Structure 1
């Protein structure tokens, strides 16, 4: 087999590969011999069909098998001999393949770049230390603890107290008109958490469960301009 490099540009490579006709014929004869061992043909006992007759009936199919096998094996040999690491499957183009002549084809491929590892032995690393503020640590712990609190349903009905978690439906109006974001159903609210504007949670305290009532509040000056005051 003859392998000639025809392109060497950056990461692109191309090779001209020639496989002698003797190699092709040897592969053909071997494959036809395998078929002959089990072939059946009128006038001949099983396994006794002459190879030259099988070449006439099976020649094209066997030639296709031999071509595929030869290209696969020879291209892999070319890759190994040249220490190539292809990025993808090589592109194969048959230049010449005729009965009784050498097989000639072109293989094109792109290879992985050679990577040289840097010397990290001289690098110095600095271990950073974070000093935590005790007040911030305590505040964070309290926030985590608050988020993990478990609500337990009341066994005996009573009026709402600070610290209770209530599930409420509410509808807000400004000057008698509903406004965007002022309505919710099934909203969980912890009384005293300060989640709503001042005065809202305080006016829920003391009311009974399943009770409907009105709350009057004044929006802070830094709230939405259309609601402030």
Structure 2
């Protein structure tokens, strides 16, 4: 049996206005279903089968969208906030009716990869603490980060609340020299997402993160050509990898 939905819901979901506005479109004959004027905005249609048009323009229905955002500093990972701009404020208006939300969160002062979607099932799998989805970060750190720190992270470190982290992989790109005012530059891959985890892990070994950027989440890697503050839809290849990872996580 083919999936059906109300015509007004479909048109609202594809950006043609509120249900009352769509009712007016139908009333003046602007909406056709299979080349015949729709008589009732509440009629049932089959999105994957019926030909639907508004003012003669075909309607392309999509249930889900998947957006990659290069989050800037100063923006909160939320759908609404009374004080700060949210990541939704950075998106093009064409995505407003999809009601997307951020998959997980990045701190207000953290940059980088953030996935936004309205696919709740996929988001749940990526966020479930039991799934251990790897996340890689680039960071600049005050203090000389060395092999001892890499070994400590590989064993798991004790955070300020007593929680012992899962093993993490620390790659030292540049060992800083505090005497010369040089910061350490690192990449860190963690398998969980505790509150302020990267910052707290370095705090546990006597260091301070001064800049943090997420580079990847599972198979999804931040597009280096995507400017800070900009977003784009995932490519077919990126989405395919994400879905495959999602299916693996489900299994």
TM-score where L is the length of structure 2 = 0.18
**Quick check: which has more Rg, 1 or 2?**
1
Larger relative CO (CA 8 A, sep 6+): 1 or 2? 2
TM-score normalised over the length of structure 1? 0.20
